[in-house]
Amino acid sequence: MDEAALINKAQDGDLAAFNRLVITYQEAVYNVAYRIMGEPQSAEDATQETFISAYQALKRFRGGSFKSWLMRIATNACYDELRRRKRRPQSSLDRITEENESFAFLRSPDEGPEQAQQRLEMVKAIEDCLRELPDDQRITAVLGDVEGYNYQEIAGITGVSLGTVKSRMSRARSKLRDCLQGVKELLPASYRLTTNT
Amino acid sequence: MLNFLRNRGRSERELRQETLSAYLDGELTPAEHDRFEQQLAQNSDLRNELVDSQFWQQQMRNLPARRVPRNFTLDPVLYGPPQRQFWGSAYPALRAATALTAFLLVIALAANVYMSSFSTDAVSQAALVPALESAPMQAVEVEEAAPQEIVPEEGGALPEEEVTLEAEMVADQELPAAPPATPFALETYTDKESEAAEAPIEITGAEELMPAESAAEESVEEPKFSKQEEPLDEALREELAQSLDILEETSEPPLAGAREAVPTEVAEIIASEELGIEEVPPAANLSGQEEEMSAPMSNTSSAVNIPLSLGLEKLSIGLGLLLISLAILTFIAYRRR
């Protein structure tokens, strides 16, 4: 059954059809939430809240990109979760423990342990620098650079103008570049050459 | 112009970074693209920044996707559809039912108002009947002695129909020229004329009996009075007509004067006929006739209108309560659909 038929059935109240959509998009939504929130527990809460809100608002979906519509709900859920987290900040120790458990997937069978370690450090550095960005710039950078949305789509998801998206993207990349400059210098030249190609 | 306003207060470096970022994403216009490439060709630092930006953009695009820690599917027990389906499907029906109930309520209220005004007219007519009864009864009481002066010389009693017809004539206050068929009626009628002038009473029910002055004269000739005319000859008719003319000319004749105006010859002629009027209380007959004629009319109309208006009132109240309930349910269905 194609996506449009699943959406129609879900709009008619078929929860099983909606859950099939959840299975299709839950990984994408979770990864966006994770990049924005910076840690797994908040990302889980934001993801669950996204699908609950999507089910309740499904009748208002009038067509177009279902993924973009889901991402908009996910972004708003992340905003709510960020405000909630500011009221009860999480300890850094808990965050590190959770992150170590989730990095197990990064290991690839065809790469050596040194390369795996370098890749792990790179990923952690990027995620640390993303976490340092202001919320608006981080969301824009995740949607643009991580998820690959263009400026128009980012403007629709975040609900801001095209000029604002350009400005936020520029500032986020500038800060990331400054933050990751030291990490890049520590990387071996071979790594930099292979990743540039 | 908006770009100019937006770029005010921003450093040249910030503007250059933004242009570089847009160039990286292909968001520059053709003119801006060409201008920036010229700057790249001339500025090595700008080229180094572009290379770095491209590197990190690539790294971020290659970030590995994290596996979901669990399934995020919704629990059917918590998010099952039946309730929402019920409200969603019930909303159009509730909305239509609310509109229909409002329409019926408006019609019921309009009918209730109409019936109330109609029953008010019937009640007013019924209220006039006692006034009508009291006026002829007063006149009849005064004239009780008058019929005694006229002693029927011949004949026996007239049929009761003639007596009732005389009572009808007496009941007409607006027709002073109504020709009485018998001495009794004539006497009472003359007295009534004076009282009618003092206190005219409009009796719509009596009009059905004697609609107009001319009609009153003609009514004497109607088959209804034909039995009285049978024993009267043409001479008597002429005399009656003369007496009517006399009565018309006199505006407010006093009681005694009215009696004098009535030719006694006529009374004697009438009395010479076989009247046979016994001592029947005229007031009773008169009132009885009037009651029979007017009361059924008002009683019938009021008897029909009162239960109907009560029913309409109850219907309006019921529809109003139903409308409120449906409106509340419709609002709930609208919010929960």
Q: What is the DSSP string of B212-226?
A: -HHHHHHHHTSGGGH
Long-range CB contacts for residues B301-306, cutoff 8 Å, separation at least 24:
B301/B118, B301/B119, B301/B122, B301/B125, B302/B119, B302/B122, B302/B123, B302/B126, B305/B115, B305/B118, B305/B119, B305/B122, B306/B119
Q: Which residue has the higher pLDDT, A98 or B88?
A: B88
Cα–Cα distances in angstroms (integers) from residue B58 to residues A141, A148, B51, B54, in the given order:
12, 11, 11, 6
What whole-number distance in Å separates Cα of residue A85 and Cα of residue B11?
Answer: 34
Three-class DSSP category at B78: helix
Distance from the Cα of B97 to chain A's closest Cα (Å) equals 23
Query: What pLDDT does A41 receive?
Result: 92
Residue B211 has pLDDT above 60, yes or no: no
B63 touches A at CB < 8 Å: yes
Q: Which residue has the higher pLDDT, A95 or B93?
A: B93
Number of helices and strands in chain B (H, E): 16, 0
The per-residue pLDDT of chain A, averaged, comes to 84
**CB-based contact B84 A13, cutoff 8 Å:** yes
What whole-number distance in Å separates Cα of residue B64 and Cα of residue A27?
Answer: 12
Distance from the Cα of A112 to chain B's closest Cα (Å) equals 17
Measure the CA angle with vertex B69, ends B64 and B70; round to 5°: 135
Q: DSSP code of A60? A: G
A13 touches B at CB < 8 Å: yes
Q: DSSP code of A39? A: S
What whole-number distance in Å separates Cα of residue B57 and Cα of residue B21?
Answer: 10
What whole-number distance in Å separates Cα of residue B192 and Cα of residue B213?
Answer: 15
Looking from the CA of B7 toward its CB, the CA atoms found within 13 Å total 13
Mutate to test the interface with A, among B60, B75, B85 (most CBs of A within 10 A): B60
- Residue B332 CB contacts under 8 Å (≥ 6 apart), including other chains: B87
Mutate to test the interface with B, among A145, A149, A150 (most CBs of B within 10 A): A145
Decide: A163 and A53 in contact? Cβ < 8 Å: no
- Residue B160 CB contacts under 8 Å (≥ 6 apart), including other chains: none
Instruction: Work out the percent of chain A whose per-residue pLDDT is above 70.
Output: 81
Pick the range with the lowest mean pLDDT from B48-52, B114-118, B269-273.
Answer: B269-273
The per-residue pLDDT of chain B, averaged, comes to 68
What whole-number distance in Å separates Cα of residue B165 and Cα of residue A70?
Answer: 97
Residue spans of alpha helices (H) in B8-81: 12-25, 30-42, 44-61, 76-79
Nearest to A123 among B49, B52, B63 (CB): B63
Q: Which residue has the higher pLDDT, B138 or A178?
A: A178
**CB-based contact A30 B61, cutoff 8 Å:** no
Which residue, among B100, B224, B92, has the nearest Cα to B165 in the 3D structure? B224
Handedness of CA A19, A20, A23, A29 (dihedral sign): negative
Region B232-258: mean pLDDT is 67
The pTM is what?
Answer: 0.50
B85 touches A at CB < 8 Å: yes
Contacts of A123 in chain B (CB under 8 A): 63-64
What whole-number distance in Å separates Cα of residue A158 and Cα of residue A153?
Answer: 9
Which residue, among A48, A74, A58, has the nearest Cα to B75 in the 3D structure? A48
- Residue B182 CB contacts under 8 Å (≥ 6 apart), including other chains: B158, B162, B163, B166, B228, B270, B273, B275, B277
Residue B239 has pLDDT above 70, yes or no: yes
Distance from the Cα of A47 to chain B's closest Cα (Å) equals 8
A67 touches B at CB < 8 Å: no
Residue B178 has pLDDT above 60, yes or no: no
Distance from the Cα of A69 to chain B's closest Cα (Å) equals 17
Decide: A22 and B74 in contact? Cβ < 8 Å: yes
- As given in the structure block, the two tokens for residue B110 are 């309009």
Q: What ipTM was predicted for this assembly?
A: 0.82
Contacts of A171 in chain B (CB under 8 A): 14, 17
Q: DSSP code of B67? A: P
Long-range CB contacts for residues A54-58, cutoff 8 Å, separation at least 24:
A55/A10, A55/A15, A55/A18, A55/B74, A55/B79, A58/A7, A58/A10, A58/A11, A58/A18
What whole-number distance in Å separates Cα of residue A48 and Cα of residue B74?
Answer: 9
Pick the range with the lowest mean pLDDT from A122-131, A148-157, B3-12, B307-316.
Answer: B3-12
Residue A68 has pLDDT above 70, yes or no: yes
